[in-house]
Copies of this chain bind each other. A is one copy, B any other.
Amino acid sequence: MRRLSTEDQNFQQTFADLLAFETVNDPELLVTVDQIIADVRRHGDAHVLKLTQQFDRHPAHQFSDLELSQASLKQAFEQLDPEVKNALQLAAERIRAFHTAQKQEGWQYVDALGNTLGQKVTPLDRVGIYVPGGLASYPSSVLMNAIPAQVAGVTEIIMVVPAPNGVLNPLVLAAAHLAGVHRVFTIGGAQAVAALAYGTETIPSVDKITGPGNRFVAAAKRAVFGQVGIDMIAGPSEILVYAEGANNAEWLAMDVLSQAEHDTVAQAIFISPDAALLDAVAEAIEAHLQALPKADIARESIANRGALVLVKNRQEAVDLINQVAPEHLELCLDEAVAMSEQIRHAGAIFMGRYTPEAIGDYCAGPNHVLPTSGTARFSSPLGVYDFQKRSSLIMCSEQGVKTLAKTADILAQQENLDAHARSARYRHQA
C-alpha cells in the first residue's frame, strides 16, 4: 500500500493527486439519456416497458407486471430468516429514532412593530427512491432512503428497483415493507428516473428523487434536476482512519478494507503519527487480503487510491482531514471527541476504538448516504430535512406595516421598480 509522509518532497502535490477524482462528462451518454427522457415523456408506460424488457431482460408482458403489491413486500418480510428479520427490524428502529430527532418544526415571532414573521415546515408530497438492482441491491439503502422520507411525513414514497431477468433480492422488498414504501416498480436506469420525474399513465410524477445508481441514472438525475429535486450525485465511497495510541492494527486494517471492498475506485486512507502503527496496519491489510472474498476489488482500490500517511502530529492530521472532507472519518484515539471538534468537514465522524464505520452503514442510526468526493465541504448526510421544505410567513399589522412599507418604497425606487414602490406606498400612506 502506498506510503506517504508529510515530510516527503512534493507531499502536497502527491496527496492532492491522490484525492483528485473527476467524473468525465461523456457527451454520448448525455445524448442517450436525453433521448430516453424525451421518449418516456412522449410514450409513457409503453416506452418504459419496452426498455425494461430490452435492458433488464425482464419477462413482463404488460406494464402492470412491473408493479409489486404491498402483499408481496409483506410476504418477503415475513419469510425472512428470523435472525435476519430481527437485525433488519433493529436497524429500522434505530434509523427511525435518530431521524426523528432530525425532524424540523416551524416557528414564528412577532417583531417590535407588531408584524408576525415565521417559517412553516411541510413534508414533500411524493418522492421517488432509486434502488440499484443486481449485486449492489442493498436493503440497507432502502431503509436509509425511505425512513427519513417516512419520518418527514411524505404522503407517498415510490420505490424503483430494476429486476434483471425479473429477479429481485427479497431482502430489498422486506426493507421496503419495513420502511413504509407505498408503491414499488421493478424498473431502473434513465427510464425509471424519467418516469418518476415526469410521470406516466401508471407512475405519478414525484417531487424529488433520491438514491444511488449507475452512470445512466446519475446523468438522468442531473438532467431532471429542476423539474424535481435530487439528492447529491454520489461518487465512489471513501474512508479516512486516523489512529494514535493503543490500537488493534487488525481492527483498523479491516476498517480500511471495508471501504476498499466496495469499488476499485473507492478510497481508503489511513493516517497516524505512529510509524510502527502504520507498519502494523500495512501488514494486517496484506494478511486480511489473503482471506477476503472481495480481495481483488479491495487490492485494486488500495493500489489505485489508497494510502498510509505518516504525520508529524495530530494537528497536521486535522489539516489533512479538513482538506479531504472525507465521507467517513474514524478517529481512533483517546481524545476523539476533542479532535472531532477541530473537524470542519466530514460526512460522518466515528469516534473512539469501538465505532467501526460498518455499524454506521447498517444500524447506528445516522444515515449512510453521505457526501463523497470532498462535497462534505458544502453538503450534508441525507436526512429528514431533505424531505421537508420551508415557506416564509409574513403578516403585517395595519400599524406595523408603515415603517416597512416606507423602507420598501425608498429601496424599490432605487431599483427602478415603480410598481413595487407604489404597492408599498399604498400601505404607508393609507
Q: Given that A355-B396, A408-B363, A414-B84 are known contacts, is A381 also in contact with B375, CB under 8 Å in the complex?
A: no
Q: Are B288 and A356 in contact (CB under 8 A)?
A: no
Q: Which of A58-66, A120-128, A157-165 is found at the contact surface with chain B? A: A120-128
Chain A contact residues (Cβ within 8 angstroms of B): what range? 35 or more
Q: Would you call A314 an interface residue if the criterion is a C-beta within 8 Å of the partner chain's C-beta atoms?
A: no
A343: chain B residues within 8 A (beta carbon): 391
Q: A56 at interface (Cβ–Cβ under 8 A)?
A: no
Q: Is A176 an interface residue (CB 8 A)?
A: no
- A88 partner, pick from B94, B349, B411, beta carbons under 8 A: B411
Q: Which of B298, B362, B394 contacts A360 (CB 8 A)?
A: B394
Binary per-residue interface labels of chain A (218-236) against chain B in the complex, 1 for a CB within 8 Å, 0 otherwise: 0000100110110011000
Inter-chain contact A117/B226, CB cutoff 8 Å: no
Q: Are A233 and B229 in contact (CB under 8 A)?
A: no
Task: Output the residue of A232, A251, A377 with the most chain B CB within 10 A.
Answer: A377
A254 near B426: Cβ-Cβ < 8 Å: yes
- Distance to closest chain B CB from A167 (angstroms): 15
Within 8 A of B (CB), among A99-137: 101-102, 107, 109, 111, 115-117, 119-120, 122, 124-125, 135
A411, closest chain B residue (CB): B362
A-B contact pairs, 17 of them (CB 8 A): A84-B414, A87-B410, A135-B416, A254-B423, A255-B423, A261-B420, A292-B418, A298-B419, A346-B391, A348-B391, A354-B398, A356-B423, A361-B420, A371-B389, A378-B389, A381-B390, A381-B392
In addition to A87-B410, A349-B394, A358-B408, 4 A-B residue pairs with Cβ atoms within 8 Å of each other are A351-B393, A351-B394, A358-B423, A359-B405
